[in-house]
Chains A and B, each alone.
Chain A
Amino acid sequence: MKIVREALAGTLESSDLMVRIAPREGELAIVLQSEVIHQFGPQIEAVVRGCLAKLGIAEALVVIEDKGALDCVIAARVQTAVSRAVDAWTADWSVLS
């Protein structure tokens, strides 16, 4: 799938995260801000990259403001943002889990 518009998902509330995704040519850029970045930064980024890879998103700018979300919340918010940023959301449930 291809990111064709900017989209926003999630909240700034505790245990959640806000994900902004935007079209970007030629690269996948992930900008992560987190209250727990020193401890969990790489893990959060791995979850984000894993989610995007499963959805076939190779080009995008993803800006994340994390408030200590669990991995499953991160996955849900990234998937929501992608679903709102593509023209046809064709993801099968099996690639979302």
Chain B
Amino acid sequence: MRGAPVRHERSIGSRRRVRVGPLFRKSIQMTAELQSYTIDPVQEPAEREDVRRFLAVCGLDYEAGVQAFVVFRRGNALVACAGLEKNIVKCAAIAPDLRGESLGLTLLTEVSHLAHERGHSHLFLYTKPDCVEFFRACGFYLLAEVPDLVALMENTPIGIRTYCDRLKRLRQPGATIGAIVMNANPFTRGHRYLVERAAAACDWLHVFVVAEDVSLISYRDRYALVSAGIADVPHTTLHHGSEYMVSRATFSAYFLKEKGLVENCCTAIDLLIFRNHIAPALGITHRFVGTEPFCPTTFKYNADMREWLMGDVSPAPTVEMVEIARTECEEVPISASEVRRLLAADDFAHIRRLVPPATLQLLEAKYRAPRISAA
């Protein structure tokens, strides 16, 4: 009989169906045939709602950002699923009665191939610490773990190691090595002030620009403005950001802040990766931040920094956190969020006072809010 054997595929529109049939393993043999396929949650609301119900049964939230799900069904019942938001595996769940079987390996295999087809080979995955062992068997490796709360894993044994090996080549001698991680959205006089102050306090300063391209100002532009803006500051190295630093993977909530979804932001993972991997690679002893009067996410990030960089929460050496009071303009601290607010209001007269000339030029040329025609 055609189609009875173990994996079967036919294309139905955009959908791929793979039938995973009676496997030899006895436990699965007892059950009906498994079928797996990919769904687009936007295009297929019925499937999406089924996934949502299944996740709820498994004690997981449905995450709206997921762009594609791999779904396994036995008969009509959903028995496993895993979603992808770009390169982050989310909403991975297996029906309780099928856990401990090889289904997890099959599920993660399917997700890996789906991600690859969608152009993502480097994957990240958040899970509970007690599932780390399970995902380790699925080819994921621990990056950082907040005990009892959450763990971040990546699907390569050499990801963070390779990254840190590259950083090590940029190590500079000195007893006090500083670091600043900035989004610079856009680069302001405040950023310039912070870099100057930090550089003066260190033997060497490493500046990282957040690489995730979800901010108003593109990464390319942000990096170029920082580069121009701090070129004359001595003993300073400018680095491209990476997926290991304030990225969608390590710190997804940061990029949701404009949607007001800040309450559950998970800063600890990002800070632990910095403390355990990045700081040792470059010999970083101090991390500099500006005080944060406006943005609640950044404010919380700064507060958490003290705990995760300096507290007794990691075997790695502590990194001293140094908060530098923001420089002010007419008694108001300069911040990038204020610049963006002024930009939306097309208030270039005020912006001029907050940013260096290069930033002003770029904002005027490229990011000016479209004006409503008076005619």
A11 and B105 CA atoms in complex are apart in Å by: 8
Residues in B whose Cβ lies below 8 Å from that of A6: 116, 121
A31 adjacent to chain B (CB < 8 Å): yes
- The residues of B that contact A7 with a CB separation of less than 8 Å are 116
Tell me if B106 is interfacial: C-beta within 8 Å of chain A: yes
Q: Are A13 and B139 in contact (CB-based, < 8 A)? A: no
Query: Known contacts being A6-B121, A65-B139, is A12 close to B158, with CB within 8 Å?
Result: no
Please, which residue of chain B has its CB at the minimum distance from the CB of A20? B121
Would you give the 0/1 interface string for A27-49, flagging 1 where the beta carbon is closer than 8 Å to chain B? 00001010000000000000000
Q: Quick one: CB contact mask for B92-130 with A, threshold 8 Å, 1 for yes? A: 000000000010011011001100100001000000000
Asked whether, in the complex, the Cβ of A18 is within 8 Å of the Cβ of B112, the reply is: yes
Which chain A residues (1-25) contact chain B, with CB distance < 8 Å?
6-8, 11-14, 18, 20, 22
* Those of A27-85 within 8 Å (CB) of chain B: 31, 33, 63, 65, 67
Chain B 148-174 near chain A by CB (<8 Å), digits 1 or 0: 000000001110000000000000000
Cβ-neighbour of A18 out of B102, B109, B158 (below 8 A): B109
B138 interface contact, C-beta 8 A: yes
With the chains together, A18 CA to B109 CA distance in Å?
A: 8
Q: How far is the CB of A25 from chain B (nearest CB, A)?
A: 14
Q: For A14, list chain B residues within 8 Å (CB).
A: 102, 105
Inter-subunit contact B102/A13 (CB<8 Å): yes
Per the bound structure, the CA–CA distance linking A31 and B138 in Å amounts to 16
User: Are A13 and B106 in contact (CB-based, < 8 A)?
Assistant: yes
For B105, what are the chain A residues with a Cβ–Cβ distance below 8 Å? 11-14, 67
Q: Which residue of B lies closest to A22 (CB)?
A: B121
Does B156 lie within 8 Å of A63, measured CB to CB?
Answer: yes
- Chain B's closest residue to A61 (CB) is B158
User: Quick check: B157 and A33 within 8 Å, CB to CB?
Assistant: yes
Chain B residues engaging chain A, CB cutoff 8 angstroms: 102, 105-106, 108-109, 112-113, 116, 121, 137-139, 156-158
Question: Given A20-B156, A63-B156, 16 more contacts at CB 8 Å?
Answer: A6-B116, A6-B121, A7-B116, A8-B113, A8-B116, A11-B109, A12-B105, A12-B106, A12-B137, A13-B109, A18-B109, A18-B112, A22-B121, A31-B156, A65-B139, A67-B105
List residues of A whose CB falls within 8 A of some B CB. Answer: 6-8, 11-14, 18, 20, 22, 31, 33, 63, 65, 67
